[in-house]
Copies of this chain bind each other. A is one copy, B any other.
């Protein structure tokens, strides 16, 4: 098995396809060499060696010989010899894993320098100050990385020396100063290790290689891998490469360039450079780098590379073009000019903003550099999310006072309020608020509508607050268990801080951050390119994308974002308006069928109007309206003041209301009297809702609109429950058609949100025309996890590796997914035309969307602001199914 791969002078043992074996950096060095680019010669020790080294705790047999042999090739290409006092070859030793892990592992430069070779360097015409500085740097890096000596000891000596010499910059020190420092540095080393600093270049080289391999298992690298889900057994490669110097006089330089603008995505060459400097100087920010070209140079300012070294610049432009065509992606290039010679030290995929990412891929499609499929695969759903919502400015520092669950993306600031009434009051004064609640209930809806963002102490990402906030496209952090709210004194505690009503806070709903004060934000930016990308997605995707929307406004937004219908229109939120909650309460408190019908008669016209506006917005597109779902007691007043008011208003005793509340209360409301379990004992409720839907339909058809209503029955566990409700709905449809003299098409289907519904899908599909998976509830019952209570369990479970992620966020394929597959298979067996979708929160989560595509659903439905993400994810699912991969992005 080959262990070491040589590259140099247009010849390379490896290429870009060997990323797994040679690491990302190494593979690209080999590839660029093959492309004839000026890459300093070197060799790569493979990741397999790293794995073997980790296992057997020593180098595999034969490695030494291969390293010696390849170093000879480098010497030959470079025309210098390693350890030669006359004309010494110096090398860098760098790590390079399959994926970039910036700053995680170690690098050692100038390996091969010692008392003898440094003289050779000087004799070959180098500036003595430069040569000794190089030796000093070697000792410092090697001391730190290989020997484990704190770099501060070296830095302190350097600072003292500059003070002694009365100079500010390193470059002002003389060769003598460096020689003195080298002596001091070596003392530090021998004091620490009880040994002299190794002067043998080979000892240096092997020490450096070992240090790089060992760095794969250092603490920060392990943590990084855990964070980014990188397998421990990938290992790192080691790149040993001839040194070139940008800090070698006025014809030397160093720089970093992007083949396109990484902030905007514009197709212009973009970068920075420094004359007579080393690569780290550009990064470290000690000197301010200069723009790479005239275009980038704003009017006056420091000279550009284009002006100072026009030939080199042209050569770079050529390389830019070649690399972009070759890699068909925006590249991040490191280069060094050593005494007039351009060297390329690295190329890799350039990091970019979300805005740039979208622009780049769309441009590249137009430039025919990449296909639409490639463009789609390269954009992450997070990119889309970023572009749709204002975000915390990443350049600003702030203190996070608490972390909750990221429930609805976007950043928002405002005054803390603890009641929906206060949020409304502030809004009326033109002031911004953040509504802070233990948890929210449908009664809080008005306040939720007017605040800037919502923060709750309890609840998971499918809690009421989260669902409603996403529907409104409003930032929201939930389950922030580290704060403790004191409603009575209108304050909350976070760590040692007390935040009072009126204090300003900022929340980051995409990350779960809570910050004291007003943090600057980057605003949302949908562009023409963004829309174009989503047009590509639509050409590729097979899943339909619908929205969960229950107001005309959210229906309008959904449609604008490209929703192809409404997958879930909840009817219960409509019941909370001032004009209707009273009738709803009358309905619930009714003792007789007559009383109840009387209350329902009042609700009919308002529900009809609600449906009419939504159906009108969505004309030509299907709209699934779900019949009443939540337990009735949710509509009853909670506090004693409210009970009193209601009693007075309705002219009944407080006791009667209290009794009804007790009667309706349940020990486990999630498993209680809700969904179709309301419409079965009280058929008149279903009847009223069906009538409202169908009368709205008829009236819009009379306006010559094409209306496609679909009625959905919730919480079905047994086919007969569905049949019971469908019979009512069908009968009302007939009556309404007759009344209006209008024929319309409609369908009746059901939520599949209980395990039993999935298991008996064959029976339900005998009469149901569509299934919509309610994966929030399905996840609750499949796991036996209450979404309201999971916050206490989940973090510990993820820590202990019991669950990989929150199953309410990303679908649990092993359990819930199995039930979904069973339901689809059984449902389609009975009715091959059955339309199947998902309307749980997973409908907007990319991994879950991919799953929905794979199992053959017809559509996903998600909150309006996630529709673009869902379109992209649905297209990615198609491409991945064909073998496409975005693994290396």
Contact = CB atoms under 8 A, between A and B. Distances in A.
Interface in A660-708: 666-673, 677, 680-681
Contacts of A789: 666-668, 671-673
B802 A720 contact: yes
Contacts of A812: 756
A792 interface: yes
Contact of A783 (B666, B669, B756, B801): B756
B670 A669 contact: no
B759 A802 contact: no
Nearest to A717: B783
A783 B796 contact: no
A51 interface: no
A754 B668 contact: no
A341 interface: no
Nearest to A788: B667
B671 A780 contact: yes
A229 interface: no
Contacts of A669: 667-668
A464 to B, nearest CB: 11
A572 interface: no
A39 to B, nearest CB: 47
Interface in A741-795: 753-756, 759-760, 763, 777, 780-786, 788-789, 792-793
A819 interface: yes
A718 interface: yes
A715 interface: yes
A773 to B, nearest CB: 14
B666 A755 contact: no
Given A680-B796, A680-B802, A668 B756 contact: no
A755 B782 contact: yes
Given A667-B669, A786-B667, A803-B718, A781 B797 contact: no
B815 A760 contact: yes
A495 interface: no
A438 B203 CA distance: 83
A666 B715 CA distance: 22
Nearest to A674: B784
B673 A671 contact: no
A815 B673 contact: no
A474 to B, nearest CB: 23
Interface in A147-170: none
A673 B754 contact: no
Contact of A784 (B671, B681, B819): B671
A818 B757 CA distance: 12
A816 interface: yes
Contact of A756 (B670, B754, B801, B815): B815
A443 interface: no
A207 B666 CA distance: 58
A814 interface: yes
Interface string A800-823: 111100000000101110110000
Nearest to A481: B663
Q: How many identical subunits does the complex contain?
A: 2
Contacts of A763: 814
Nearest to A677: B793
A724 B802 CA distance: 8
A721 interface: yes
Nearest to A818: B759
B756 A782 contact: yes
A677 B818 CA distance: 23
Most buried by B among A668, A671, A784: A784
B796 A681 contact: yes
Contacts of A754: 782-784
Contacts of A756: 782-784, 812, 814-816
Contact of A721 (B670, B680, B802, B814): B802
A781 B755 contact: yes
A815 B752 CA distance: 13
Nearest to A459: B667
Most buried by B among A668, A718, A724: A668
Contacts of A760: 814-815, 818
Contacts of A724: 800, 802
Given A668-B668, A724-B800, A800-B724, A755 B815 contact: yes
Nearest to A777: B784
A812 B755 CA distance: 13
A314 B801 CA distance: 84
A815 to B, nearest CB: 4
A681 B677 CA distance: 36
A703 B763 CA distance: 58
A815 B667 CA distance: 24
Contacts of A753: 784
B800 A680 contact: yes
A667 B787 CA distance: 10
B670 A667 contact: yes
Contacts of A715: 784
Given A718-B803, A759-B782, A670 B673 contact: no
Contacts of A803: 718, 720
Interface string A705-741: 0000000000101101100100000000000000000
Given A680-B796, A755-B819, A666 B788 contact: yes
A488 to B, nearest CB: 14
A182 B239 CA distance: 123
A507 to B, nearest CB: 24
A753 B755 CA distance: 13
Contacts of A785: 671, 717
Nearest to A666: B789
Contacts of A781: 671, 755, 781-782, 784
Contacts of A755: 755, 781-782, 784, 815, 819
A760 to B, nearest CB: 5
Contacts of A784: 670-671, 715, 717, 753-756, 777, 781
A205 to B, nearest CB: 44
Contacts of A797: 680
A717 B786 CA distance: 13
Contacts of A782: 717, 754-756, 759, 781
A144 to B, nearest CB: 39
Nearest to A784: B754
Contacts of A666: 786, 788-789
A802 B803 CA distance: 37
Contacts of A801: 720
A815 B715 CA distance: 15
A797 B723 CA distance: 13
A492 to B, nearest CB: 16
A667 B790 CA distance: 11
Contacts of A668: 668-671, 786, 788-789
A803 B718 CA distance: 8
Nearest to A817: B759
Contact of A718 (B720, B788, B802): B802
Contacts of A800: 680, 720, 724
A751 to B, nearest CB: 11
Interface in A613-668: 666-668
A782 B717 CA distance: 8
Contacts of A780: 671
Contacts of A681: 793, 796
Contacts of A759: 782, 814-815, 818-819
Nearest to A796: B681
Most buried by B among A753, A754, A803: A754
Contact of A793 (B673, B792, B815): B673
Contacts of A814: 756, 759-760, 763
Q: Nearest 4 A-B pairs (CB), nearest first?
A: A756-B815, A671-B786, A668-B786, A755-B755
14 contacts: A667-B669, A668-B671, A671-B781, A672-B786, A673-B792, A717-B784, A718-B815, A753-B784, A754-B782, A754-B783, A756-B784, A756-B814, A777-B784, A781-B782
Given A680-B800, A781-B781, A781-B782, 8 more contacts: A668-B789, A671-B781, A672-B786, A677-B793, A680-B796, A681-B796, A717-B784, A755-B815
